[in-house]
Structure 1
Amino acid sequence: MNIWKKAYEKWIGNEQLHPPLKKELQSIQYNEEKLQELFHKDLTFGTGGIRGVVGAGTNRLNIYTIRKVIHGLAHYLLANCVNVKDRGVVIAYDNRYMSKEFAIETAKTLGVFGIKTYVFTSIRPTPLLSYAVRYFGTVAGVMITASHNPPEYNGLKVYNEDGGQLIPEEANEVMQEIQKLDNELKVPILSEIELEEKELLIWVENEVDDAYLQEFVQITRQPNDVFQTKRDLKIVFTPLHGTAYDLVRRGLDVFHFPEVHVVEEQIISDPEFKTVESPNPEEHQAFQLAMEKGYKVDADILLATDPDADRLGVAVKNKAGTYTVLTGNQLGCLFIDYILTHTDPIFLKNGRILKTIVTTELATSVAESYGVEVVNTLTGFKYIADEIRQYDETGETYLFGFEESYGYLFSGFVRDKDAIQAAVMACEMAEFWKRQGKTLLDVLEDLYEKHRFHVEDMTSITLEGVSGTKQIEAIMNDVRDNPFTEIASLQVEKIEDYLVGERKILPEERQETLDLPKENTIKYILENNNWLCLRPSGTEPKIKCYYGVSGKSKEESKIRLTSLKGAIEQRFDQILKNIK
């Protein structure tokens, strides 16, 4: 019997199987293709946790796959952390299907081990979960969310005792514990009543929200007399049916922004996200209703947060009177310039800006013009959070961190990207420049004039199935074994291979060690501050290519970007043709 059939028989033959899941399996009992999809593998626990379509089967997210992950997490915590049972784990969840049920299943599973849990009574943003870990001093945090994935998805992110997402070493140890369990249907749990009777379940209401907002006064860059006055800025805000509405509104109140117009249709907590094609502020269609509202009220700035409120998109009016959506790179550089302009020079010498290796080099140019060092991490905010943790020990000063995919963090009281902090600070920054007679687009143009015109982009190729995996491997192997020395008439100056942890300096081929974790990523650094980076996706059957170019004008930069893309596409086509 096939492995998937054995797994299916185990599930359908279980008399105690959760009735909705049993009903789902019975409805497709003669559809072998569908059953194989549900049972041909287990959902994989990676560095970001676990994510999948909600439904029956080992390849779906359900109460049993949740229990299996948390059972492994409990073993990991008891083996690696101190005072686990008393310190406990804090659990939050967003507005997706089954989110609260999965949160309670998490508490039920941890309760068997005598581990106390703090569970929020209603939906909360991801950054608040990160803060709650630090606020309560728990050994870990669990966030039930699928971020901006389609409605049929849900997921689970695990946070360490510092409040950051698990780094690879931690995640690998958790995964090893998960894999020791061979039957997810037999994971023991306590009932909710038993948890409450044993005082292992503590319901959390507004205590953490209030404490989180009290921290906000430390992120402003304006003097107290300005901070305490009402700000003249017209704001439109949409939480895209997610979790950010209450905290963003309260945060804007703390910063004295009275004129906030919300997109009423998108305040509703809707797991179907009916008013958008995708609840992702990186995609411009997510701003459609916000723009309509913006034109009606003549808004200065539009804000959009993704469902779990760890990403922020911003749009501002251009000279033609229409709204332009800023890229994550553009907004991040505007933030850097604003922060450093308003930071005492005494703190700049030891200050650090953090960004990922696929984030714009304009950030480096801006920061260095203020004498501030930029530190690069691998892709993923967990690496930025871990760097902040190290600064607690070294005494270096964390000033700001961001990644190109709309993630920003101003203050380390949270250890994950925080769209609530970013939304409030975007408004403070826009209002400051409005008083100077400028828009954020005007300031961005000033940065380009001073630091060259930087343009970034990302392309990807989807290669599915077993053959796709081999093709992605072949591409990465080819660019390693036969490296570029020139791309689109630009000389290669450095090749950084993060899988082997080496940087090669050309043309002399001198080697340096990269002080970063191992990852299957290659970055080519080209002359005149141009670069590209290749990496397979960790969650999808794709290989991604990130590009960063700079030129004396926007036109020159865009032409260069097109040339780089063309050169890479041609190389990929040749590699794929050779392996067919």
Structure 2
Amino acid sequence: MSWQDTLKKWTSFTALDEKLLKQLNELTKNEKDLEDSFYKNLTFGTGGMRGMLGPGTNRMNIYTVRKAVEGLANYITDNVDDAHKRGIVIAYDSRYMSQEFAVEVARVLGAHNIKAFVFESLRPTPLLSFAVRHLKTAAGIMITASHNPPEYNGFKVYNEDGGQVPLKEATAIIEEVNKVEDELLVPVKSQSEIEEAGLLEWVGEAVDRAYLQELKTIQKQKIDNQVKIVFTPLHGTAYDLVMKGLAQSGFDSVDVVEEQAKPDPEFSTVSSPNPEEHQAFEMAIAQGKKKDADILIGTDPDADRLGVAVKDGKGSYQVLTGNQLGSLLLDYTLSQQDPNALRNGQVIKTIVTTEMGRAIASYYGVNTIDTLTGFKFIGEKIKQFESNDNHFLFGYEESYGYLIGDFVRDKDAVQAAVAACEVASYWKGKGKTLLEALDTLYARHGYYLEGMQSLTLKGKDGAEQIQSIMSDIRKQPFERLGGLDVIAVEDYQISERSLPLENKQEEIILPKENVMKFLLEDDAWVCFRPSGTEPKIKSYFGVKTNSAEKSKSLLEKVQSEVEDRIDTIINA
């Protein structure tokens, strides 16, 4: 069916939602946007789906949500024991249409006689992961687009373990979603019908309290050295749980950026509600200077990512990278463990996360496991530990995602916020800021430095350009970068590691994914990965020398050479 035929199907659907019909009529004035809204189905990928709000099969709306839920309902009916009775728990963030989509999910599940547990107000993603395990539901759904711009929303699926669905499950769910022929005709029941039938139960604060009890277990020592904290939830979901978590851990000096404390789907005080981007900390930094704060903490809208800024010794604040904060959290977590607990303990990181983590873990005699990018792979590994002698100690990824306690199976900014403040308190007791603590780690392990370049290429043309970049890099792989020889080329799409200097190949024991990684001399590396949730291709970089200046210079050189190569491919 052409996009014009799909458009005609929508416009001739007499029961089309009035709000969407009005938007569709406006959209007819711009044929390019109209085509982009209908030229394909919004991709239901390995974790769910995410897209711009609006009418059309390539947009987030009640019909594309219903289609996704229909496929999921069919999957769990056939594959999860007692799925109808156990039900599905649903949470949502502060974005436009989040609560409405949560209710739509329940209405579709009701048509399948599957019980829905829906939070009565917005909640963080990690609480949804916890709720699946706590309520013992068959699955979980989080309505969120994480840190995407305001015009986006999304839909993430969690399995009965509380983790994002792994690849095998995801593939089966995707097949079921794709079997749904007409998103406009998915059966639903009314909200009143499912409430009366006991198929919709509103979830209150009982789950929050249970989570906060578990949160106590990650605290390593009593807080007796007060740090001054400034906290911003960036208009999202984190305020209540972070504030309660800090209070029960013993932190009394917490100032909130009030202008960013209330949920706001426009994220009106920031250009992007992403703690990875330094502009998101502008208000927190201004407030931190007034309060002479030791640490500034910021969470993204669904509270699964945490950013931190700390005093830099020059009267201002420096935003730590995800790799730097992860290294500090990891070192503290392992240093405070009973030595017996380190035995068979495992640290898990992704292939684009700093190698400093491996060096830190090795220092404490702990093994490090690499996974593909995405916390679902870390959650999957934790589940596997339940059937062997290994146990989880810490998991993280460079994109500001961390997990300390495995009562959650996804990255958890609430845990990370409380832990980061504890680490700051620990080092303050030793007379050091977190930056000075980081210098201690560099002196011990070497000066690791990482970078990331993200190129946004929207629409159909952009998708083709991203494919061209990956294809060209595969056909003509790098041999040298930054003056360093490539010693290994890892192509995760074919699960093969080539060692050009030794003229041999090895198998990569990880799931297949469209990723290329180049390992260079002296522990440097470069990795290329198209985003699975945004119209972007990301280039990741890591270097290591014996000084900050040398690492910075080498990183800039490698990044520049990669940028030139990508520009050449795009402009060819």
TM-score by length of 2: 0.97
Displacement of 1:4 in angstroms is 2.1
User: In 1, distance between residues paired with 2:327 and 2:349?
Assistant: 11
Cα distance change on mapping 1:79 and 1:361 into 2, 3 Å:
same
Which residue number corresponds to residue 125 of structure 1?
124
Cα distance between partner residues in 2 of 1:467 and 1:62: 23
Q: Aligned-pair distance for 1:438?
A: 0.8
Question: SS of the counterpart of 1:55?
Answer: coil
How big is each residue's C-alpha offset from its partner over 1:169-194, in whole Å with a ceiling of 9 and x where there is no partner?
Answer: 22221111111112111111111111
CA distance change for structure 1 residues 126 and 375 in 2, over 3 Å: closer, same or farther? same
**1:277–1:194 Cα change, 3 Å:** same
1:28–1:554 Cα change, 3 Å: closer
Equivalent position to 1:338, from 318, 321, 332: 332
Alignment correspondent of 2:448: 454
User: After superposition, where does 1:467-486 map in structure 2 within 5 Å?
Assistant: 468-486=462-480
| 2:256 counterpart of 1:257 | no
Q: Cα–Cα, structure 1 residues 16 and 241, in superposed 2: closer, same or farther, change >3 Å?
A: same
Pairwise mapping of residues 346-357 of structure 1 onto structure 2 (< 5 A)? 346-357=340-351
Q: 1:500 aligns with which of 484, 494, 502?
A: 494
What one-letter code is carried by the residue in structure 1 that aligns with 2:379? A
**CA deviation map 1:324-368 (0-9, x unaligned):** 110000000001110111111112131111110000011111111
Q: Does 1:9 align with 2:15?
A: no
Deviation at 1:575, TM superposition (A): 4.2
CA positional deviation for 1:12: 2.0
Q: Matches of residues 270-285 of structure 1 in structure 2 within 5 Å?
A: 270-285=264-279
User: 1:64-91: CA deviations, max 9, x gaps?
Assistant: 1111110011011112111111111000
Distance 2:498 2:28 in 1: 56
Letter aligned with residue 154 of structure 1? N
Say whether residues 1:510 and 2:509 are aligned partners.
Answer: no
Contact persistence 2:516–2:527 (CA under 8 A): yes
Q: Is the 8 A contact 1:233 1:431 kept in 2?
A: yes
Q: Against the structure 1 CA distance between its residues 288 and 395, is the aligned structure 2 distance closer, same or farther, given a 3 Å change threshold?
A: same
Query: Helix, strand or coil: the match of 1:524?
Result: strand
1:232 positional shift: 1.0
**Correspondence 1:146-225 to 2 at 5 A:** 146-222=145-221
SS at match of 1:438: coil
8 Å Cα contact 1:353-1:401 kept in structure 2? yes
SS at match of 1:393: coil
Q: 1:168-219 CA deviation, whole Å, 9 max, x = no partner?
A: 2222211111111121111111111111121111110001000000001210
Cα displacement (A) at 1:53: 1.6
1:373 aligns with 2:363: no
Contact 1:365 1:451 in 2 (8 A): yes
Cα distance in 1 for partners of 2:282, 2:328 equals 24
Residue 304 (structure 1) aligned with residue 302 (structure 2): no
Change (3 A) 1:9 1:481: closer
Residues 464 and 212 (structure 1 numbering): CA distance in 2 closer, same or farther, change over 3 Å? closer
* 2:559 maps to amino acid: K
Between the aligned residues of both structures, percent identity stands at 55
Q: Secondary structure at the match of 1:394?
A: coil
Name the counterpart of 1:421.
415
Q: CA deviation at 1:471?
A: 4.0
Measure the CA separation in 2 of the matches of 1:130 and 1:522: 30
**CA–CA separation in structure 2 for the residues paired with 1:444 and 1:156:** 37
Task: Identify the residue that residue 560 of structure 1 maps to in structure 2.
Answer: 554
Aligned-residue offset at 1:406: 0.4
Structure 1: state its 5+ residue gaps: none
- 1:222-275 per-residue CA deviation (whole Å, 9 max, x = no partner) reads 1xxx35xx5411111010110000000000011011111101111111111111
Provide the rounded CA distance (Å) in 2 between the counterparts of 1:30 and 1:545: 37
Q: How far off is 1:380 after superposition?
A: 0.5
User: For residues 17 and 296 of structure 2, what CA distance do their matches in structure 1 show?
Assistant: 44
| Contact in 1 for aligned 2:225/2:429 (Cα 8 Å) | no
After superposition, the C-alpha distances for 1:74-115 in whole angstroms (9 at most, x for unaligned) are 011112111111111000011111111110100010111111
Cross-structure match for 1:407: 401
Q: Are the counterparts in 2 of residues 318 and 324 from structure 1 also a CA contact under 8 Å?
A: yes
Taking structure 1 as reference, are residues 544 and 187 closer, same or farther at Cα in structure 2, changes over 3 Å only?
same
CA distance in 2, matches of 1:30, 1:529: 54
How far does residue 463 in structure 1 lie from its aligned partner after superposition? 4.3
Offset, 1:375: 0.6
Asked whether the equivalents of residues 231 and 258 of structure 1 are also in contact (C-alpha less than 8 Å), the reply is no
- What is the alpha-carbon distance in structure 2 between the residues aligned to residue 201 and residue 267 of structure 1? 30
Which residue in the other structure is 1:104 paired with? 103
Distance in structure 2 (CA, Å) of the matches to 1:346 and 1:209? 32
Once the 2 structures are TM-superposed, how far is the Cα of residue 521 of structure 1 from its aligned partner?
1.0
2:386 is paired with a residue whose SS is helix
**What letter matches 1:495 in structure 2?**
V
Aligned-pair CA distance for 1:61: 1.1
SS in 1 for 2:327: helix
Q: TM-score, normalized by length of structure 1?
A: 0.96
Q: Residue 24 of structure 1: CA displacement?
A: 2.0
Residues 132 and 139, structure 2, Cα contact 8 Å, conserved in 1? yes
Gaps of 5+ in 2: none
Q: Which residue in the other structure is 2:18 paired with?
A: 19
User: Which is worse superposed, 199-208 or 568-577?
Assistant: 568-577
For residues 511 and 555 of structure 1, the distance between their equivalents in structure 2, rounded to whole angstroms, comes to 35
2:225–2:428 CA contact under 8 A, matched in 1: no
1:104 is paired with a residue whose SS is helix
- In the other structure, the counterpart of 1:66 is 65
Residue 73 of structure 2 contacts residue 112 of structure 2 at CA under 8 Å; is this kept in 1? Answer: yes
Counterpart CA distance in 2 for 1:67 and 1:291 is 42
Contact 2:236 2:263 in 1 (8 A): yes
Please state if 1:388 is matched with 2:382.
Answer: yes
- Whichever residue aligns with residue 381 of structure 1, its letter is F
Whether the aligned pair in 2 keeps the contact of 1:231 and 1:257 (CA below 8 Å) is no
Question: Would the aligned equivalents of 2:52 and 2:153 in 1 still touch at CA under 8 Å?
Answer: yes
Cα distance in 1 between the residues matched to 2:460 and 2:80: 39
